[in-house]
Structure 1
Amino acid sequence: MTDTTEHVSATGAPAPAEPVTPVAGPRRRDVLHFALRNRKVVGGTVVILAFLVLGLVAPFFTDHGPNEYVGPPSSPPSADFWFGTTTFGQDVFLQFANGIRSTFVVGLLGGGLAGLIGMTIGFVAGYRGGLVDELLNMLTNIVLVLPALAVLIILHAYVGITSVPMQALFIGLFSWPWVARAVRAQTFSLRSREFVDLARLSGMRPLAVIRREIAPNMSSYLFMTFILLFGGAVLMAATLDFIGLGPTDVVSLGLMMNSAVHWSALHLGLWWWFVPPGAAITAIVGALYVMNVGLDEVFNPKLREM
C-alpha cells in the first residue's frame, strides 16, 4: 500500500500526499494539457516568472548601483524613481529588483541542497532497510528536532553568514529531514513492487534500481517537494535577513525590510520602502504554494479538473 500520510515541512506547509507514476509519451501530453487548464498552476507560474524576469532584467537598465545615493532623500514614487527613495536617496526599485534576484538564488540553492540531501537519505533508507534504515532514520530525527532558526542564529554568531551561497548552504543543511522521511516512506512502499523485483533479479545494482525504477515513479512527487523547499528557503532567508543575520554585501528583500525598520520608515511614513519587499516575499511564497496545490490536482486524477 502507498503511504498517504501527510508530511509537514519545516515551514508548516504540507508536503505532497503521495507519489504519482512517471509520465511518458501520451501521458506527458495529458499532464501538460491539464496543467495549462489549471488556474492555480498557470497563475502561480505567471507570478514566479514575472518576478524572475524583473530580477534578472531590471538591474541592467540602470547605470548606478542599488546602494548608491542617486536622488533626493525620502522621495515618494515618481516617474524618475518608481518606488521612491530611501532616507539616504537610494533607489528603492533598484534595491527591490536586486533583492528579488538574491531571493531566487537562495531558494534555488537552499531548496536544491535540502532536496538532494533529503532524497538521497530517503531513497537509501527506504530501499536498504535494516540497520542502514535505523541509522539514517536516527540521524533524520536528530536534525528534525533541532530548532533550525536557533541553530542558524548560533552558526551566524560563530561562523558568520557572509554571502548568499553560504546562507543557502546553512538553510539547506537544516531543511531536509521532512523530505527524507517522506521519500523513505514512499520508497519503502515501492521497493516491494514487481518491477523493482524484476530489476533486482536482473542483476541491477541498488543505486541503479533507485535511479531507474523507483525515482521515476516519484518524479512528480519530488518536483512538488522541491517547490515546497524553494518556498521554505525563501522564508527562512527573509527571516534571517530581517533580524540582521543575513549577508550584508548584497541587497535582499529581507535586508530591505530590516533597513526600513532600523531607519524608522514606518514612523516617517515611507511606506514605499517596506511594503514592496514584504509584498514580494508574500507573493512569491504564496504563488509557489498555490502552484504546488495546482500540480497536485494535475498529477492526481482524482483531483483533476475535467
Structure 2
Amino acid sequence: MTGQPAEPPEDPAELLGTGVPGPAPAAARVMRTEVLHYARRNGKLIGGLAVVLVFVLLGLLGPLFTGPNPLEYVGPPAQPPSAQYWLGTTTFGQDVFNQFVHGLRATFFVGTCAGLLAAVIGMAVGFTAGYRGGLVDEALNMLTNIVLVLPVLAVLLVIAAYLEVRNVAIQALIIGLFSWPWVARAVRAQTMSLRSREFVDLARLSGAPVRRIVFREIAPNMASYLFMVFILLFGGAVLFAATLDFIGLGPTDGISLGLMLNNAVKWSALQLGMWWWFVPPGLGITAIVGALYIMNVGLDEVFNPKLRET
C-alpha cells in the first residue's frame, strides 16, 4: 500500500469533465452527476467497497453476539471450527471468532485515526507551503524532507518499545505522525499549480482571506485526489499497525488482528496445525488492504476522464 494515486489533471476543468474552468456551480453539478454515473458502473470500486463494508459491519455487529471480552476463556483448548466455535479456540480455550471481530474494530480504528491525522498534517503543510511560497515553503519543505528520510519503521519500533502502556489510540497517533510527508509534497505541488489560476486571482483581488482561498477555491479542485490519498493512508496505517503487532510492539491491552498473528506464532499454532488461529486474521488484513487498493484504482478511473472505460 505504498503507491500513490495518479496526479489529478492539471486543469480543474479537465477533472470536472467539462469545459468550464473553476468551481462554477453548474460545473460542480455536472461533476457530481458524472461521478455517480461512472461510480455505479465501476466494478473495482463496487467490489472493493463491498468487501470493506462487510468487514466494517462484522467489526461493528460481531461483538454484540460474541461477548464483550475477547480474551475470556470460554471452552476447551485447541478446538477446530464447529457450530459452537465458528473459528475454533486457542490453546487457552479463547474463542478465535470473538477475537477476530474485536480485532477488526481495532484495525479500522487505527486505520481511520492514523489516516485522518496524517491527511490533516499533510494537507496543512502542503497547502501552506504551496500557497505561501518563499521562506515558508523552504522551511516546511525542509521539515517534510527530514521526516521523509527517517527510517519510519525503526523510529516506530523505538517509540513503541519505550512505551510501558500502549493502546490502539497511541498506536494510531504514532503512525499518523510519521505518514504525512508524501501527502504534503503532493498537495504542495498541486497547490502551486492552482494558485496561479484565474479563479484564485479573482478571489485574491476580492480581498478574500488566505484561509478562504485555500479551502473554498483550491481544496475543492483537489477533493477527489485527497479522498484517494486518505484511502492509501488508511491502508498503510493498517499494514504498519499489523507489523508492530506481529513483532510484539502492539497494544498491551485488548486484541487486534496483528496481535492474533503474534499470539498464534508465539504459541506454535502453525506447528500444532491450528490453522484456524492464524489464517483468519492473515486473510482479514490481506482482504482489507487489497480491497482498499482496488477501491483506489476504481476511484482513479471514476475521477479521471482519461482512465474511464467506455
Q: Is the shorter-chain TM-score for this pair beyond 0.5, marking a shared fold?
A: yes
The alignment's C-alpha RMSD in Å is: 1.2
Map 1:209-248; keep pairs closer than 5 Å: 209-248=213-252
User: Percent identity between the aligned chains?
Assistant: 69
Q: TM-score, normalised by structure 1?
A: 0.94
Q: Does 1:87 align with 2:116?
A: no
Counterpart pick for 1:171 among 164, 175, 178: 175
Residue of structure 2 in register with 1:7 after alignment: none
Question: Which whole-Å CA distance do the structure 1 matches of 2:213 and 2:127 have between them?
Answer: 10
Unaligned runs of 5+ in 2: 10-14, 17-22
Q: Which amino acid aligns with 2:7?
A: A
Decide which moves more: 225-234 or 15-24: 15-24
SS at match of 2:199: helix
Question: Does the aligned pair in 1 maintain the 2:5–2:229 contact within 8 Å?
Answer: yes
Residue of structure 1 in register with 2:75 after alignment: 71
Residue of structure 1 in register with 2:299 after alignment: 295
Residue of structure 2 in register with 1:8 after alignment: none
Question: Which whole-Å CA distance do the structure 2 matches of 1:157 and 1:185 have between them?
Answer: 36
Q: Does 1:195 align with 2:199?
A: yes
Deviation at 1:158, TM superposition (A): 2.5
Question: Does the aligned pair in 2 maintain the 1:161–1:167 contact within 8 Å?
Answer: no
Residue of structure 2 in register with 1:15 after alignment: 5
Please identify runs of 4+ aligned residues in structure 1 that moved more than 4 A.
none
Q: Does 1:280 align with 2:284?
A: yes
Q: Which amino acid aligns with 1:200?
A: R
| CA distance 1:121–1:161, change in 2 (3 Å) | farther
Question: Does the aligned pair in 2 maintain the 1:161–1:246 contact within 8 Å?
Answer: no
Residue of structure 1 in register with 2:12 after alignment: none
Residue of structure 2 in register with 1:48 after alignment: 52
Question: Does the aligned pair in 2 maintain the 1:16–1:225 contact within 8 Å?
Answer: no
Deviation at 1:16, TM superposition (A): 3.2
Question: Does the aligned pair in 2 maintain the 1:66–1:251 contact within 8 Å?
Answer: yes
Residue of structure 1 in register with 2:309 after alignment: 305
Counterpart pick for 1:151 among 145, 149, 155: 155
| CA distance 1:228–1:302, change in 2 (3 Å) | same
Unaligned runs of 5+ in 1: 1-10
Map 1:114-129; keep pairs closer than 5 Å: 114-129=118-133
Counterpart pick for 2:253 among 246, 249, 252: 249
Q: TM-score, normalised by structure 2?
A: 0.93
Q: Does 1:184 align with 2:188?
A: yes
Decide which moves more: 182-191 or 159-168: 159-168
Question: Which whole-Å CA distance do the structure 1 matches of 2:67 and 2:301 have between them?
Answer: 45
Question: Which whole-Å CA distance do the structure 2 matches of 1:158 and 1:94 have between them?
Answer: 30
Question: Which whole-Å CA distance do the structure 2 matches of 1:16 and 1:59 have between them?
Answer: 38
